Structure 1
Amino acid sequence: MSKAVRVGVGVIIKRGDKILLGERIGAHGANTWATPGGHLEFGERIECCAKREVFEETGLSVTEIKEVGFTNDIFISENKHYITIFVIAQCRDGDAKVLEPNKCKQWRWFSLDELPKPLFIPMANFLKEQASVLR
């Protein structure tokens, strides 16, 4: 079986000066903090994937979705390779709910100056390369 590179979409949801991060559980990125997001489906627009994944994971509706960059991430211990496309989106109201308890322990809003650790590899790499986009 050949290895495939997967495409993920990470949704940086802003509310004021904070962003929403979830504490991951399960095999992929367990015990790290990440934005909502997931796999881009065949034929799906990035904006549609972002809206769908955020709603499936948190129950929130996002608007003003804008592509801001990508990362090329290799998870050596998991033998996975992802291109993650990051978008910024707005969410003016509502509380994030844990709708996929097998994948996420909790959702919390964090100031960019006080992000939790450890961050999920794609998010950490995005911030190293393009943190200024979020300011």
Structure 2
Amino acid sequence: MERDAAKAPAPRVAVVLFLLKDKSVLLGRRRSSVGDSTFALPGGHLEFGESFEECAARELREESGSGDKQNGIPNKQLPQNLEPEKCYGWDWYDWDHLPNPLFLPLEKMVKTGFNPFPDH
């Protein structure tokens, strides 16, 4: 039996950003039906026709107001909470002392031993 393409779920792709400062990473506390009150990296879903880099830059601007609009490079300003309906706020957390609970995808990454600070 052939699968009806109209009923097949569309693939979803998410992009997250590791914004690093000294030995800290930027995390926001989610305000969502999925992972409510967990700490997560900035990011979001890839839009049709968008590159990973474009998605990362857009999400960073939308969520925290950070980033240069032309090239998407994060600037030095303190992140703002531009989506208070989705996030309780942003802050920097030491990688070796992350807050709990972590958003499940980030928690899994941490448990594998992933470290964004290779010289640490």
Sequence identity percentage = 40
Question: Aligned partners of 1:105, 1:57: CA distance in 2, in Å?
Answer: 11
Matched residue type, 2:12: R
1:43 to 46, 49, 58: 49
Question: Aligned partners of 1:94, 1:111: CA distance in 2, in Å?
Answer: 19
Question: Aligned partners of 1:21, 1:2: CA distance in 2, in Å?
Answer: 34
When the two structures are aligned, how many residues end up with a matched partner? 109
- The alpha carbon displacement at 1:61 in A equals 1.1
Matched residue type, 1:21: L
Greater per-residue strand proportion:
1
**Structure 1 residue ranges without an equivalent (≥5):** 63-89
- The alpha carbon displacement at 1:113 in A equals 0.7
**Structure 2 residue ranges without an equivalent (≥5):** 1-6
Determine whether 1:126 maps to 2:109. yes
- The alpha carbon displacement at 1:91 in A equals 4.2
Alignment of 1:9-48 (within 5 A): 9-48=15-54
Question: Aligned partners of 2:34, 2:56: CA distance in 1, in Å?
Answer: 19
2:99 to 102, 116, 119: 116
Tell me which residue corresponds to 1:96.
79
- The alpha carbon displacement at 1:43 in A equals 1.6
* CA RMSD between the two structures: 2.0
Bigger relative contact order, structure 1 or 2 (CA pairs below 8 A, ≥6 apart) = 1
TM-score, normalised with respect to structure 2: 0.81
Larger Rg: 2
